[in-house]
Amino acid sequence: MKQFKASLLLTFLLSAFVSFAQAPPGAPAGNTVKVTGQVIEKESKQPLEFANVIIQTLNNVTVAGGLTDAAGKFNLAVAPGTYNIKFDFISFKPTVISAREITGNTNLGVTAMAPDATVLNAVEITAERSTVEIKLDKRVYTVGNDMMVKGGTVSDVLDNVPSLSVDAEGNVALRGNQSVTILIDGRPSNLAGSNVAEVLRLLPADSVDKVEVITNPSARYDAEGGGGIVNIILKKGKANGFNGSVIANTGYPSNQGVSTNLNYRSTNYNLFSNLGYNYRENPGNSFTNSEYLNDDNSTASFTNEKRLNKRLRKGFNASVGMEWFIDSTTTWTNSVSFRRNTGNNPAKTYYDNFTADRTYTNTRFRNNAEEDKENNMQYSSSIVKKFNTKGHELKVDASISRNVDDEDANITDEILFTTDTSRNTYERTFNDQLEKRGLVQADYVLPIGEKGRFEAGYRGSFSSLKTDSRAETLTGGVYVNNANYTNFLEYKEKVNAFYTQYGSKIGKFSYLGGLRWEDSNIDVNLLTTGTFNNKRYNNFFPSAFLSYEFSESSNVSLSYSRRINRPRGRFLNPFSGLSSNINIFRGNPDINPSKTHAIDLGYLKKWKNITLSSSAYLNVTDDTFQFVRQRSGDYVTQVVDGADTVDPATGTIIPVGGTDIRTPVTLTTPINLAKEYRFGFEFNINYNPFKWWRINSNFNFYRNQTKGDYTFTYQDEDGVTINDFQNFNNTAYAWTTRINSKITLPYKIDWQLNGNYEGPQNNAQGRRVGVASANTALSKDILKDKATIALNVQDIFNSRKMKNETYLPGQIRSYSEMQWRQRQITLSFTYRFNMSKNDRQKEQRGQQEGGGDEYMGG
């Protein structure tokens, strides 16, 4: 806490310095005159709104600046003198009028800006409603108006972004690697200890503007995330005046919601807000068919487990903020966000038990009535001081957040088709989390010469997570604590980081090198058992990027970075829910962080209608995380004394007398393995065969090799300690592909269709089965393009499921399928205030122009 307070004090001191900083000496004074003109696009002759116009003295002191209006016109006031007048707009070549003498009111006439085809800094592929920026160290996807995800969640948004995939459990993978750091507006708040997948399913898709995919981050970025970083940027209006949109949706299964994005921008400030309410039902299902084995690998028994979920979520989210343009060089942004979600998840699980010869014995029914509620609050502040137009700036950020997540369940377990209720069991579980996080960072950028750029910064991240997990069993009319599933976990994390990097360009060759140092101080305390574990370590994280331009339409790049992946949340907590008491997930408080060396070789080529972005990558990870299934040594025993049962398939009465049904408990838990080698190729193709048809596709193929072994220790039914050694050496090949097609039909109806396929992959304990799925959407602009109606279908064939085969010799052979959400049909209506269809594109371009964009440095 002392470290956080000190860092916060540093933030306020730097903020005060920036707020009161004045323009450098040398700016002219006296009576002012007007400088006017118009900026247009050279090729189309269309006006450029939000183009940046800067007037500087001959010694590069800025005296005036502003943005062009909807007609591309500007009107600035300066004192008489001689100036350099600069015009700048993203994806266009900067234009300069040098040493222009201004003695009175002056009209500069029309300035035509030419598109910048240089691919080193950014290649922009602009279509009607989507933008892809390909930069040296990341790709930026503008998804704010993607009709495919209308009425959906942020999880749906990510699953429609090339290179990303979201499995049936909500886990996000980048190029098949789940060691990914997920940020929102450049900040990890509320995602460290909470279930990240659940958070992404609670945020509405309509609040997202852009997604940044950073496959190999440089030293300026947080070193967290062995597979890369995904930054979700929320909407923040940039258009002048009052504008915004309201979106309402309904769907089946029940999916109702309304959200609004309102914005008011003036010369001195920009007010923005996002408000939304949603009511969603997400019915899902899963099953696991298990064959339990004896030590000699013969069959001991069979159990077929089938689960039905009916998830209900009611959520409200709100964020409000203001950008204050203190002067032409200083912007101070403050925002507050609040999120509240309540819901329930009644899970009904059936266990059909069979003997070794497939003789039916009984059916056990387990009902898990789960309720949960979450409250989250966050305050963020950011101040930017731009010393000149060449990129010389200082940015300071600070944020604090608090998240409460309570999840309780009442569980009943009974044998069906019998009158004997004495063996029924009743349990209840409590899982209460409190997370607090503070973040402070400062980033300084100094241009050196014409092409050089020096950066340095600090980042301090301080978080604490308290998880109170309890399980109780009804015994003699009183609930008694079950020590096997009770624990109070206290996680504290303090990470201080400093970085510096320098980059420049020599002819067609560009380079960027940096070094980051992070000091980590982490406590993992199990208060119930009195186990305390402190992990203190510091590491250097170097990075290097090289790029060479063959022409204006092609380049090649080579990059290297070192990354870290710290285990958090459910990875560490030894307790989990008891929806199933024979297949249990258990965290591992002794798991250590993994460290990755990442190398990426990329090639970019642009033709008239096709853009190809490709890369070959290699990740070498030490102490990699691996989820494994193991025997716990425990059994779930159901005894039925002299009670007849009924075969549910035939209705035949089966006499049972003194039957002792014992089912082994299987654990899934994360462990550290010695090494993982991941090598692959990725291709992204954007093809526009006609003006009315565009196709985006992604293909990723990789080879994943793990090396290591592990010894599982447990006690058998006689109390004997068993050491079960297993070799995890494994080499697997896998591939994923995605294709997205958008066609403009007659009557200006847009039709979008995409398909995904994740190929099969072997692992040391079994195999993941390949899965194919498809989504589609139709949309039509109405009311003079001020409104849009859209219909989308997620998972057309209801085929999106996680399928796994597991084989542990002498223990278990199983096959499982899990579908988190069934096919979803959504109808949405969007109405825009003071924003036509074309205004939306101007807003997106204005957001890319700068001045308040989220910056993920430090």
What is the pLDDT at residue 194? 47
Residue 841's φ and ψ, nearest 5 degrees, are -70, -35
Least confident of 181-185, 661-665, 839-843: 839-843
Quick one: pLDDT band at residue 659, thresholds 50, 70, 90? low
Q: State the average pLDDT over residues 840-856.
A: 37
pLDDT one-digit tens code per residue, 726-777: 788 889 999 999 998 989 999 889 999 999 999 999 988 899 999 999 999 9
Domain presence at residue 126: no
What is the pLDDT at residue 628? 83
CA distances to 137, 304, 657, 661 from 644, in Å: 67, 20, 8, 14
pLDDT one-digit tens code per residue, 545-564: 999 999 888 899 999 999 99
Domain CATH code at residue 62: 2.60.40.10
What is the pLDDT at residue 198? 66
Domain presence at residue 138: no
Tell me the whole-structure pTM to 2 decimals: 0.74
The answer to whether 635 and 664 are in contact (CB under 8 A) is yes
Domain presence at residue 128: no
What is the pLDDT at residue 656? 52
Quick one: pLDDT band at residue 71, thresholds 50, 70, 90? confident
Quick one: pLDDT band at residue 307, thresholds 50, 70, 90? very high
Nearest to 605 by CA among 615, 595, 596: 615
Quick one: pLDDT band at residue 66, thresholds 50, 70, 90? confident
Structure token digits, residue 282: 């997400």
* Amino acid symbol at 491: Y
Domain presence at residue 6: no
Nearest to 39 by CA among 96, 109, 126: 109
What is the pLDDT at residue 569? 75
Q: State the average pLDDT over residues 673-695.
A: 90
Single residue among 65, 89, 113 that ends a domain in this structure: 113
Quick one: pLDDT band at residue 462, thresholds 50, 70, 90? very high
Question: Do 436 and 298 lie in a common domain?
Answer: yes
Quick one: pLDDT band at residue 144, thresholds 50, 70, 90? low
Domain presence at residue 16: no
What is the pLDDT at residue 548? 94
What is the pLDDT at residue 661? 62
Q: Is the pLDDT of residue 50 over 90?
A: no
pLDDT one-digit tens code per residue, 12-42: 434 433 333 333 333 444 578 999 999 988 7
Q: Is the pLDDT of residue 698 over 60?
A: yes
Report the domain count for the chain.
2
What is the pLDDT at residue 57? 87
pLDDT, the chain, mean: 82
Query: Which domain, by its residues, includes 829?
Result: 241-849
The answer to whether 245 and 235 are in contact (CB under 8 A) is no
Domain CATH code at residue 743: 2.40.170.20
Question: Which string of DSSP letters, residue by residue, matches 806-844?
Answer: EEETTTEEEEEEEESS--EEEEEEEEEES--HHHHHHHH
Higher pLDDT, 583 or 341: 341
Single residue among 91, 113, 135 that ends a domain in this structure: 113
Question: Do 566 and 713 lie in a common domain?
Answer: yes
User: Which residues neighbour 799 within 8 Å (Cβ) at sequence distance 6 or greater?
Assistant: 771, 772, 773, 774
Q: State the average pLDDT over residues 630-635.
A: 74
Domain presence at residue 186: no
Q: Is the pLDDT of residue 185 over 60?
A: yes
Single residue among 56, 81, 113 that ends a domain in this structure: 113
